[in-house]
């Protein structure tokens, strides 16, 4: 059995940084993720007037319940969608003018539903170029709160941003949601808010958040379940065994369900209170699976799908088209480069069994493309990546850890 330590969750680290910044007192974050996205988040908080003390294992942050200390800031989000989507709301709780911009890749990703929701709350938000996209300027003067309607059909991060803002408003929030995707990420948000002392509830499509702020705490960050998917897939593909400690039955992250998908395809899966183990059996069955709620793992499944005995059809993943790249078409394009037969529709991809051949993978500056097709390479000589460094977004040490795994398994 091979045990692989997975770095901290990007999703949990970003939320914890927001919550710590907004909380009364000093929060200690245990084992947060040190990667490009989370560093961008911490630097943005610093520009807003918060101080994040980053150590090798723990980060400390003293919160400001009244909003940012700065009265103006120019924030560069890099490629970090959580920075661009979570922090305008935090900035709005202060007093001043705050500008947000990012890479060309992130400028292409939509912000419109979140912008409109903030405007419903009376926040002055101005897009400098294309409406609904970065760069944007927030003219902050506190947030009263109230009732709003939000279209969360493209990203659950819009709802998370508003939920996180809720306790910082004067009157609280009542959010009616349409078209919600990636529900487990919203459940993560609400669970973490409660850990920091907030009162948040859901009744069907209506989310209610009471005013009252947050309390500082000590918070341990789980290993990243999306990152773990590459190692679980590697075990299923090669007939080896992988254990990821720290991800067990009580894990917050819905992407752990990817292990269960592998179980449906023929792998053996054991989930305990403390860890998850996937063991390859030499069998991968075809499958039709709805991945709406675990769509970040869609590229992982697509990358091993050619080795299944029957077709693999992944459905209800339209929102993957507006991630770092159009992941649905990027996955299909790379599989075709490998000589695999693929069909796609608006929100689905179907991969036929085949014998992939070596080729260069187009990463599209997307960490998930690079890591997913590194798994394919375990059984396909000659695969290279056109941008291996893009993994720095969430797992800078990925290639080193994967090389060590290959050496241990002799594949």
**Residue 125 DSSP one-character state:** E
210 contacts 33 by C-beta, under 8 angstroms: no
Average per-residue pLDDT in the chain? 97
- pTM value > 0.75: yes
C-alpha count within 13 angstroms, C-beta hemisphere, residue 244: 27
Give per-residue pLDDT as tens, 278-306: 999 999 999 999 999 999 999 999 999 99
C-alpha 129/C-alpha 365 separation (Å) is 23
Question: Tokens 């480069």 — which residue?
Answer: 337
Residue 259 contacts residue 276 (beta carbons within 8 Å):
yes
344-401 pLDDT per residue, tens:
999 999 999 999 999 999 999 999 999 999 999 999 999 999 999 999 999 999 999 9
**For residue 75, what are the contacts with CB-CB under 8 A and spacing of at least 6?**
44, 47, 48, 83, 87, 98, 99, 100, 101
Q: Write out pLDDT tens, residues 170-195.
A: 999 999 999 999 999 999 999 999 99
pLDDT for res 154: 92
Q: Give the residue numbers annotated as catalytic, written as ranges.
A: 296
- Of all residues in the chain, the percent with pLDDT exceeding 90 is 99
The pLDDT of residue 227 is: 98
Query: Confidence band (pLDDT; 50, 70, 90) for 338?
Result: very high
pLDDT at 1 over 90: no
b/e map of 94-125 (b: 16 or more CB within 10 Å)?
Answer: bebbbbbbbbebbbebbbebbbbbbeebebeb
Per-residue pLDDT reduced to its tens digit, 90-100: 999 999 999 99
DSSP letter, residue 226:
H
**404 backbone dihedrals φ, ψ, rounded to 5°:** -65, -35
C-alpha span between 153 and 325 (Å, rounded): 17
Give residue-wise pLDDT tens across range 98-148. 999 999 999 999 999 999 999 999 999 999 999 999 999 999 999 999 999
Statement: residue 161 has pLDDT above 80: yes
Say if residues 271 and 30 touch (Cβ distance below 8 Å): no
338 DSSP assignment = T
Beta pairing class for 218-220 and 26-30: parallel
Nearest to 189 by CA among 217, 210, 216, 159: 159
């Amino acid at each position: 059995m091979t045990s692989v330590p997975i770095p901290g969750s990007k999703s949990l680290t970003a939320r914890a940084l927001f919550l710590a910044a907004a909380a009364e007192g000093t929060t200690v974050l245990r084992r947060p993720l040190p990667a490009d996205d989370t560093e961008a988040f911490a630097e943005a908080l610093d520009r807003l007037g918060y101080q994040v003390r980053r150590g090798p294992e723990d980060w400390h942050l003293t919160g400001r319940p009244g909003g940012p200390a700065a009265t103006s800031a120019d924030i560069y989000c890099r490629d970090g969608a959580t920075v661009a989507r979570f922090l305008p709301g935090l900035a709005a709780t202060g007093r001043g003018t705050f500008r947000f911009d990012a890479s060309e890749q992130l400028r292409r990703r939509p912000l419109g539903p979140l912008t409109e929701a903030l405007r419903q709350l009376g926040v002055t938000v101005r897009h400098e170029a294309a409406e609904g996209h970065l760069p944007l300027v927030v003219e902050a003067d506190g947030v009263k709160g109230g009732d709003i309607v939000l279209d969360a059909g493209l990203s659950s991060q819009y709802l998370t941003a508003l939920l996180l803002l809720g306790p910082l408003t004067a009157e609280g929030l009542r959010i009616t949601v349409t078209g919600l995707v990636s529900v487990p990420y919203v459940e993560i948000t609400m669970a973490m808010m409660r850990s920091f002392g907030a009162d948040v509830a859901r009744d069907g499509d209506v989310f209610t958040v009471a005013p009252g702020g947050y309390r500082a705490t000590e918070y341990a960050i789980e290993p990243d379940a999306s990152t773990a998917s590459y190692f679980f897939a590697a075990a299923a593909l090669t007939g080896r065994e992988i254990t990821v400690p720290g991800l067990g039955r009580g894990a917050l992250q819905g992407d752990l369900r990817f292990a269960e998908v592998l179980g449906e395809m023929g792998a053996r899966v054991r989930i305990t209170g403390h860890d998850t183990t996937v063991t390859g059996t030499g069998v991968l069955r075809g499958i039709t699976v709805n991945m709406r709620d675990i769509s970040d793992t869609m590229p992982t499944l697509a990358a091993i799908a050619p080795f299944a005995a029957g077709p693999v059809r992944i459905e209800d993943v339209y929102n993957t088209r507006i991630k770092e790249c159009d992941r649905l078409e990027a996955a299909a394009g790379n599989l075709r480069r490998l000589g695999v037969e693929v069909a796609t529709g608006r929100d689905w991809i179907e991969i036929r069994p085949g014998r992939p051949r070596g080729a260069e993978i187009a990463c599209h500056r997307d960490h998930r493309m690079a890591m997913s097709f590194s798994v394919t390479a375990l059984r396909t000589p000659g695969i290279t990546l056109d941008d291996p460094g893009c993994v720095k977004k969430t797992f800078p040490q990925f290639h080193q850890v994967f090389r060590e795994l290959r050496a241990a398994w002799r594949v």
